[in-house]
Amino acid sequence: MSALTDPKHQNRDVEKDSDPPESSSQNGSTAESEETGRTVRGLRWLVVCVALYITCFLYGLDTTIAADVQGPVIEAFGRVQQLAWIGAGFPLGSVCVILLLGTLFSTFNMKWVYITTVVLFEVGSALCGAAPNMNALIVGRVIAGAGGSGIYLGSLNYFAVMTVEKERGFYMALIGVSWGLGAVLGPVIGGAFSVSSATWRWAFYINLVIGGVSAPAFVFCLPAIDPMPGTPLRKRLGYIDFAGFVLGGGTWVSFLMAFTMAGAQWPWKDGRTIATFVVFGVVLVAYVLQQYFAVLTTPSRRAFPGHLLRSRTQVLLYVVTAAGTTTLFVVVYYIPIYFQFVNSDGALMAAVRLLAFVVIGVAVNLVSNTFLHFIKVYKVLYIIAGVFLVAGGGPLMVYLDPATSTGTIYGLTIIVAVGTGLSMVMGYTVATLTLKPEDTGAGLKMQNVSQIGGQVIALAVAGQIYQSEVIQKLSAALAGQGFSQEAIQGATAGAQSPLFETLHGELREKAIQAVTEAMQMTFVLVPVAGGVMLLAALVMKWEKLFGKAVAVGA
């Protein structure tokens, strides 16, 4: 997700995001709407709003829906070594195109860019639903993620341009509410489909049904807003840093391949493993050099706002946002697996047990900027968030055990949810208020990459830890029982696997204990991320927003 971007400030990204010429009509359109009011009114306005909010809901839904269909997918396709890709594929698609989409929305007709991203999202969803194997499902998730990020950015851009200032905050806040509602219901809907006759495939097909209902609104009601009217195609294309976007996407793809295939699919010392890490390193270096020297682009049109890396505040905001995102997705993707093993829960019940965490996290997320307006010193809020993450994440890692009561797990995840919710989107607001106006769009770009990229990194690292630890510990627990390595690998995604259904008594208890010990190692990421956030917060400046600064450091 470019997820819950601050509704009061995201509209600046529309104007500054891609260094458009001063004659850009986007600024003119906004100015005109301030003077004359909205040009879209009445029933058409209602239809446009509902359609945009529905697609944001779907983006939120797909952000978390895969968390509870992992087990059934592994049962259908096997390939448990690719488990991390089920979750990480969606944000991978998003992070690879998020910067490019920002440029496209500010240089091309917004209507057709938006409709293109909706089509991408639906094509990816269709491929996921009809996937004949794991590889097809992963490709579908990546395509859907690419389209989903465009849906979200497009909605933000549309409401920024179509509304007047006094109403803009309200309409853009509803984008966050729509995304949050989808994120809350994602695991439950995914779990419900998984245990129904419709099967897990309808967790993805549902996007086609809802998207199809909304399609006429996009084609016939969505206004065609051209931010650069009269500008030739060649000049518009000149604003795109093609080399930067290709190398940036290649960096993320090679990173995920290296960290998901190493150990799980190939031994660490295997030549293929070494090759993937070498490719990742080479592409990363090429990307850094291309951006630093503005190769095949200009300094003002570079894909990544690297000049902000000189800002202590922006770098620390990048760190804390990524840390908060890490805690969210480790819990969302692995707590359901824990309950499936320990309580023998089905996919739906495991998702219901996740509701407390998701609801509290999204609720705190939505009011985090209210806290910021009240307290004003953002450093304090990040310290509080870090404390909650360490206080909840540390014990959660320790007590993630079959003997621990369900209520204790609920309580600890709720503590983590408070820290997660506080830290996930506040960086957007702080970035816009601590930068010069001309750098606001660049700051929001960094936050987008931090949030979505943080999700990719979190799921890749968590998947690597879990796969490595669980196979090792489960193999030791079941040694001498005649189970093949393939059967043991297949048992790591849920207790409904064929292997676990054959286990009884003490042997089953030993196997569950082995899985939960592996999960404890995976959940180390939560208190570690909390500790990183706390340390980053402690070295932040003492700045008071929405008023005179107090003791601003260097």
Q: Which of 118, 183, 120 is nearest to 152 (CA)?
A: 118
Same domain, 228 and 251: no
153 shares its domain with 218: yes
Cβ-proximal residues to 363 (8 Å cutoff; 6+ apart), any chain:
421
Same-domain status, 187 and 282: no
Q: What was the pLDDT predicted at 493?
A: 66
Report residue 442 as tokens.
């660049």
Whole-number pLDDT of residue 257? 93
Domain count across the chain: 3
pLDDT of residue 9: 42
Collect all residues with Cβ–Cβ distance below 8 Å to 551 and sequence separation of at least 6: 541, 542
pLDDT at 495: 56
Q: How far is CA 347 from CA 188, 255, 335, 550, in A?
A: 8, 30, 11, 51
- Identify whether 147 is part of a domain: yes
Mean pLDDT per 10-residue segment, the chain (554 residues): 41 42 38 57 93 94 88 83 88 96 94 97 97 95 96 90 83 85 89 90 95 93 93 94 97 94 83 94 98 95 94 97 95 91 86 90 86 91 98 95 94 97 89 88 90 94 90 89 80 70 85 92 97 98 68 31
What are the backbone dihedrals phi and psi of residue 132, each rounded to the nearest 5 degrees, phi first? Answer: -85, -15
The reply to whether 208 and 249 lie within a common domain is no
What pLDDT score does 494 carry?
A: 64
Can you give the pTM of this predicted structure? 0.87
Q: Are 386 and 463 found together in one domain?
A: yes
Does residue 304 sit within a domain?
no
506: CATH: 1.20.1250.20
In a domain? residue 453: yes
Assess if residue 301 is contained within a domain. Answer: no
In a domain, 309, yes or no: no
Assess contact for 252 and 456: CB atoms under 8 A: yes
Residues 6+ apart with CB under 8 A from 39: 33, 162, 223
- Whether residues 77 and 167 share a domain: the answer is yes
* 281 and 384 share one domain: no
**Residues 464 and 327 reside in one and the same domain:** yes
Do the domain assignments include residue 303?
no
Q: Domain residues for 271?
A: 242-296
